Amino acid sequence: MIKVPFAWMRLRGLIEKEFIQLKRDRMTFAMLIGIPFMQLMLFGYAINADPKQLPTAIVRGDDSQFVRTFLKSLENTGYFKFTVETRDYDEAAALMKSGAVQYIVTIPEDFTRLLVRGERPQILLEVDATDPIASSGAMSAALQVVNRALDHDLKGVMAANGARAPPVELVMHRKFNPENLTHYNTVPGLIGVILTMTLVMITSLSLARERERGTLENLYAMPLKPSEVMLGKIIPFVAGAAIQVTIVLAAARILFEIPMFGSFLLLSAALVLFIVVNLAIGFTFSTIATTQLQAMQMSMFFFLPSILLSGFVFPFLGMPQWAQVFGSMLPMTYFLRIIRGIMLKGAEFPEIWPHIWPLLVILAAATFVAMKRYKATLD
């Protein structure tokens, strides 16, 4: 019998077989369609390197027409969204420390009196500089506002004074990162990225690996409750995560000289919670995936938005509302606020609690789904 070196019929049969297999493997097919679509939507609509409409607090000591004109001009730049107005500076500072506002604009009580006398009153603009990307465009726009905002309102002698120099002096303070160093923002966030990438992926492979090796039946035969299996699978990885955290924190302090203004004990407790949340999510993926390939695909599908929608690369508050909704479902969104708040702002428990309880909710939801899936597999 003569062997044909190449036959289209054999190739066609193999191609048809692969298409049938791909059709049956719905998880892989969904990833082939879902990941490009997700990247297109995120990079096309959600990611913004020049964020606008960031929440701003006003500490108003004066309420004259000049003040209203200046604030309206500042708002018209598109960078500032006035969400809080108060006369108590401490209230505004607490909001910035908790991450609720990005900017604080302080108008002094004698603003109008000094302006009329031609003494160039000062307006203080404070910026949460823990994320340098979020502040550069806004600060440049604010300087332009100072030069032109009051031209229409200044008359007579005041107009002559304003022609020589800007009638108002804008004083800008970069809080929590006065030197505007980028690694103050990225290095603490790397802890969240590393933990999310490694812990979710490793844990998601646990049950899938046993299923492929044929040892899962032995696990089912053991007198173990689903909660005991889950704890047994995730607890060993806590030690590995502790080593990762220690390395990154040591590098942050020794190599990059990033300060630690808050409580190390509070940070450690938040880290343990974040580690457990990621391990629980990974275990949940492992109860859903039937193969290790599917487990890795699900992990990557979770990891991509965790980087792009959490505020690690781009400012969270500068994203569209729909992207913020999706980002609010990700554990890393809250962890980034916690670690940056503790390390750079010296935040205490009351200030990070709004970011702690969502992690507890995500942990409870992941545990519930994992237990239901594991029991269904047992049945």
Task: Write out the two tokens for 12.
Answer: 């066609």
Q: What is the pLDDT of residues 285-319, one digit of tens each?
A: 888 877 787 788 888 888 888 888 888 888 888 88
CA 134 to chain centre: 13
- Average pLDDT value for residue range 53-59: 91
Mean pLDDT of 234-255: 84
Token digits of residue 295: 């487990």
Domain with CATH 3.40.1710.10 in the chain: 54-175
54-175 has CATH 3.40.1710.10 classification: yes
Q: Is the pTM of this model over 0.85?
A: no
Q: Please tell me which residue, 195 or 292, carries the higher pLDDT value.
A: 195
374 vs 280: CA distance, rounded Å: 13
Average pLDDT for 264-273:
92
Q: How far apart are CA 29 and CA 34, in angstroms?
A: 8
Report the pLDDT value the prediction gives residue 27, as an integer from 0 to 100: 63
The answer to whether the CB of 80 falls within 8 A of the CB of 54 is: yes
- Cβ-contact 169, 122 below 8 angstroms: yes
